[in-house]
Structures are given as structure tokens and as C-alpha cells.
Chains A and B, each alone.
Chain A
């Protein structure tokens, strides 16, 4: 290698170059990232799709209630909200997770948007956290809209005063489940560099896979599936229904229901380990 002997004179125009600004701390960058990503979600077709799903689920449930007037549902507000909220929100959380989170990390590689961000003085975990927060916020908006629709519908039967703390407690549990599910979705998304794989695997796992494993473990092997995240979603309905027996046997088949503590521990545990592993994967992933 030859050491260059600089001979050329570079023009000196304008003020000396120097980087403007002082780079913010990583958490602050994560929040900044989430703001812009959230804005991107709100303007995207996927948000319209998600709102369409909220509208469809709401319409189906409202039509059934209005048409059949099931006494078990419209008899009291606890049964009404317990049935309609719980059955709708569990599905919505899965859809929101898949739609907002399925390609969140894989898409950065496939769509090359990662190149725009990763050349900046940003730690990788800030990008991961920012995208997680944005997906979380977008999902929260959709389940929030669903909740508002239900409250509006419910008030036609029971009035606005019929709202109870049960609904608030169930909402908090749903948010906890959302955080665990999104953690898992982000982990799957970090495993791939192709969005389609991420979305497909997450959709299959959450819509069929985990439920199937749950059933097989309980019915065939008699093992409590405490290590499956979807097992914990039952606690979302507990504020309305009360906590069922942990173990029930019927026709030779053992069924399990998580306790409050167990359900909450599973959700927190899933959020923590999936987020940690997902982050580690993203830290080591290369933009080749």
C-alpha cells in the first residue's frame, strides 16, 4: 500500500463542517422512533385493515345480540361485558399483534428501511424498543376503539352508569396479554429477514398452533400448558366470571385453568424472555 502524498487542495467554502446536535440518550431515541413509527402505522393500510376487523367483530356481536337477544348476555351488565369484551378482545389482540408486529423487525431487512435508521448514531435496542412501543400503541388504539364501541352499545341496554371496575381490570389484563403477545411476535419477526415468513409463522402460531398444542397437552398428556402464552389469556375474563377451578376432570380428560397469579406470571415471563431473546437476535442480525 502506498501512503498518499496529498497534493490536491480542497476548496474551503462555508463554515467548517461539524456534526450539529448532541445525540440524545438511547431511551429518548426509542421514544422518538416510536412516535414516527406510530405515525407510520396510523397512516398505513394495515391500520385501516385493523379498524375493519374491529368493525367486523363489533358488527357480528352486535347483530347477534340485537337479533337473538340472548338472556344470558343482556340479562346483566357483567355478563354482557364479560362475554362480548372477552370474546372479542382475545381475537383482536392476536390480529393486532400479527398485523402491527409480524413484520416489524423482518421488514427492516426486507424493505431496506433498516438501512435508513441503522446508519444513524442509534443503539439497536432503541430501534427495537421504538418499534415495539409503536406496535403496542397502535394495537392499544384498536382494542381501545373496540372497548368504546362496546361501551356505547352496552349503554343502550344498561346506561352509562353500569360500567364496573371489572371491565377496567379486564382491560388491564388484556393490555398485559398484548405486551406478552407482542414480545413473542417480535421474537418471531427477529428470526427472519423476510416479512412474509414472520407474519405467516406468527399468524399460524397464534391462530392455530398454540391452541392446538394447548389442547394436545391438556387432553392427551394431561400436562398443564403453563409455558404457552395463549394459556394465560383466560385470565382476561376472570374479573367477570371469577376464577374457575385450577383443574377439572370430565370424561377422563383433564382441563387446566390458570390462576390469576399464574396467568399474570406467564404473561410477564413471556414478555421478558421473548423481548430479551428478540433483542439479542436483533443485536446480532446483520444487514448483509
Chain B
């Protein structure tokens, strides 16, 4: 059995306000799941219940089948969590802060030292390893927080808007880190309201609004929802393509169900037939020497579904 996260009728009320409303969700296996929703949707509240920072009014959260509410310590032992940009004791250096995390997790000193060097290099903070955290910028602190989350190489990663406070370069690096973390035996569950970030790194998405789960699906299926059963893919070319070339060389490729122009060098293609068809179309386009420089799932598909579902929620 792979790593898993499960919410069973998870509910949290603050007075009469229902922040999370009977959320039931099970995520299992090696994958990256984006937890989407507008501000105030209940994403952070959900993640806080998964880490026992706040307590559910009703329901229960499980990590690897272990109840967080009943066995906090055991449940969190295989989980790395980054919730709400924590602060680290200002007089400690990143190395010392990570030593503390490693020691509390039961890692031996040698292991902590080697992993500390690795994770600090991963978040590009090696040269600051022995400086006091109190002098760091918000972005630098967030990198250390990410490093502390990765230190014990946990099976389950819970990340609450991990790119918060980072500059564009930092945000890109966080995406790169998350992509690199996707591997056999690891489940990454991260909340965000940045759709491009989710499309870049996630395999599945769960959309939450007003505490309710609106949908939970694979990105491919989300994309298919707006492209009539196919998958919407953006294809980018080195130089502009005329409609004639598109019709002759691209629209005729088996698997391409339709196309529209995004601009003179970019097309949105609807590909019917799943991942296999996508692979075939990509190979076909590459072989035609049309100057293909980009081929990725359409970001607008998720955006379309997101806006549609949220607006349905608003009018309900």
C-alpha cells in the first residue's frame, strides 16, 4: 500500500461559520495532488486539521491510515508539513534549526548532518547555513522551512502555499523542487491558488470552495471536461504557422480532435484518446519538423473549470 491521506467527513465550524464542511477525500499512492480554492475556501484549515494544529468539530483526518486526532505523533512521523510560513527561533542558524528537527524526528546525528547539507543545497541556502535565521528575509525563511520539511525524507508532504513570500525566481525553484520530489513512494499534497503552479507540478487536483469539495480529479480529466472528452494541449512553435500548414500538417494527425489558435506561434489542440494519443501526437508533430518547442497540457483548461465551478458555488 502506498502513502495515503484521508479526510472522513472532516468538518470545522467557527461559531456559525463553517470553514470545512464534511470533507471526505482519499488520496493514495505516489503522486502530487493540488489542493485548490480561492482565499477563505478552507484549504489551510483542512491542512491544519491534518497536522493537529486545529481540531475538527466533526470527522477525522488520517495519514497513512493513522488518525491524526487519536495518534498525532505516530501519524505525523511519516509526514513533513509546511503550514502558514512558520517562524524559526531567530537566534538559531538553519543548520541548528534542522538539527533540532532531525533530532525530534529521531534521525541520528550523522544522518542529520548529511541530509542538512543536501536539503540546504536543494533550497539554495548552503551559504547561509551558519547565519542566524533572525536576519533572514521572508523568502529565505520559507526556503529553510521547506528544507526542514524535506529533512527526514517523509512519505507524505503537506505543503500550504509553499511559494508564499518568494520572488518569481524562488517560486520557480519551489516548483522545480516539488517536481524533483515526485518519486516512487511519496505523496505530495499542496494547497495553492496559483493555477499555473498546480498545472506545472500536479497529477490530480481537488477544488475546495466555502469548505466544500467541488471536485477531485486528475488533471487530464479536468482538461477533458472543457474540451469535450479530449485533453487540451498547448503546442508552441519556433515560428508562426499559417492556417493552411496547421490544417495540412497538424489537424490531420490521428488523435487531434480539434484546434484553435492562441497566437501566431501557439495552438490549443484537443487530443482524443488519453495519454497514448498524446504521446503519438507529440511524436508525429516532432517528426514533421515544424519547429515544435513546447507541448504541455493547457493551463486554461484548469482555469476554465476552476472559474466555472467557483461561480456555480457562488450562485448556489
Contacts and interface: CB of A to CB of B under 8 A. Distances in A.
* A is bound by B: yes
B119 to A, nearest CB: 11
Contacts of B249: none
Interface string A35-66: 01101100110000000000000000000000
B118 to A, nearest CB: 11
Given A17-B154, A23-B105, A121-B73, A112 B218 contact: no
A120 B76 contact: yes
Given A17-B155, A113-B88, A1 B100 contact: no
Nearest to B275: A7
Contact of B92 (A40, A111, A114, A287): A40
Contacts of A117: 104
A20 B152 contact: yes
28 contacts: A2-B221, A6-B31, A8-B31, A10-B182, A10-B183, A10-B203, A12-B30, A17-B184, A17-B186, A20-B107, A20-B152, A21-B102, A21-B111, A23-B73, A23-B106, A24-B104, A24-B106, A33-B100, A36-B92, A39-B91, A43-B91, A113-B86, A114-B86, A116-B87, A119-B51, A121-B72, A121-B74, A286-B55
Given A23-B106, A115-B84, A116-B145, A4 B153 contact: no
Interface of A: 1-14, 16-24, 26, 29, 32-33, 36-37, 39-40, 43-44, 111-123, 286-288
Given A43-B91, A115-B83, A2 B274 contact: no
Interface string B79-118: 1111111111111100011011111111110010001000
A120 B105 contact: yes
A272 to B, nearest CB: 25
A1, A39, A43, A122: residue with the most chain B Cβ atoms closer than 10 Å: A1
B104 A17 contact: no
B53 A20 contact: no
Given A113-B88, A121-B74, A123-B73, A2 B185 contact: no
Given A8-B219, A22-B106, 4 more contacts: A11-B182, A17-B153, A21-B102, A32-B100
Interface string B204-228: 1000000001011111110000000
A286 B153 CA distance: 27
B74, B186, B213, B274: residue with the most chain A Cβ atoms closer than 10 Å: B186
Contacts of A118: 51-53
Interface string B60-79: 00000000000011111111
A19 B64 CA distance: 12
Contacts of A26: 73
B3, B86, B221: residue with the most chain A Cβ atoms closer than 10 Å: B86
Nearest to A37: B89
Contact of A19 (B72, B92, B153): B153
B115, B179, B182: residue with the most chain A Cβ atoms closer than 10 Å: B182
Contacts of A120: 76, 101, 104-105
A84 to B, nearest CB: 33
Given A1-B216, A7-B218, A119 B72 contact: no
B293 interface: no
A6 B52 contact: no
8 nearest A-B residue pairs (beta carbon): A115-B86, A17-B186, A21-B107, A119-B81, A16-B185, A21-B106, A116-B86, A43-B91
Interface string B121-147: 000000000000000000000000100
